[in-house]
Amino acid sequence: MSRLKEADELKKYLSPFTEVHSQPGKNEFFSVNKNGLRELSKARKISLRQAMILCLENGIWPERFRSNRGSLTAAEQAKIVASSVAVLGAGGLGGYVVTLLARLGVGKLAICDGDVFEESNLNRQLLCNLETLGREKALCAAEVAVRINPAVQCTVFADWATSRNLPQILEGADVAMDCLDNLKARYELEAAAKALLIPYVHGALAGWEGFVMTVFPGDPGLAGLYGPDPVEKRDSAESVLGVPTPTPTWVATLQVAELTKVLLGRQSRDNHRLLHLDLTVPTVETLELA
């Protein structure tokens, strides 16, 4: 069956659930609501995620992604839905990252965190509230992701990320997200990601400042930023400067923007740079790394 014929038949089948959108000077396009996706999933005996991809491949936008159109093509949105991302850390940075990825449409998430929510997290961690206190961060993140987007497939690792379990956590991932809070785990993540030839997006913060860096397998990575053999300081910048409420939101947003470029091939592999966020100005500056 030709792609054009398949698209026409799909639009006909989904017609009770679709809407035609037109803009002056632009071609009209179709969107399909969540009920249409469920019907297609049942009729074709495919997952909801596969139903989304099928629609996008035929130029039909799931309504939930309609506002991405213009910034993303249907083919790019389909690529995102087909992607798999590992998120290491589900607290201050990771909670925001997971929810953004679910809204963006990433199809598979591996979420790792060995911690539980406590009262001191309430000022800055999106998924922490009075009902989640004492609960596992990774599990709460997965639950919220599925509530946002039922098509996302989550694998939960309610454990600390170590050199022992990182190969399993990263298995099948297209990109990893470094939302960790200690250098030892970050370096172990980098080693595992490079061994598996997986790029990752590093995020760190303290006080009103944050740092984001995309690392490809051949890049200098953390050694170019923290040195080849860093020592974990007893009084870290985060413990001294604190983590005020707005900072994780900004850093997580920059991380997801960088990840999107990596998934879509928009990020240059030769561009070794660090994004430095300073909310006291506010400004985001790009620092070139050797």
At residue 268, the pLDDT reads 77
Q: Domain ranges for the chain, please list them.
A: 3-77, 83-288
pLDDT digits (tens, 9 = 90+) for 226-277: 888 777 666 677 777 889 999 999 999 999 999 999 999 998 777 789 999 9
Q: Which tokens belong to 73?
A: 């093509």
Is it the case that residue 1 has pLDDT exceeding 70? no
Cα separation values, 23 from 27, 59, 77, 186, Å: 7, 16, 20, 47
Model confidence, pTM: 0.95
Taking residues 65-94, report their average pLDDT.
Answer: 98
Which fold would CATH assign to domain 83-288? Rossmann fold (3.40.50)
Closest residue by Cα to residue 6 from 48, 57, 47 = 57
Q: Where are the beta strands (DSSP E) in 50-199?
A: 60-62, 84-88, 108-112, 153-157, 175-178
At residue 234, the pLDDT reads 65
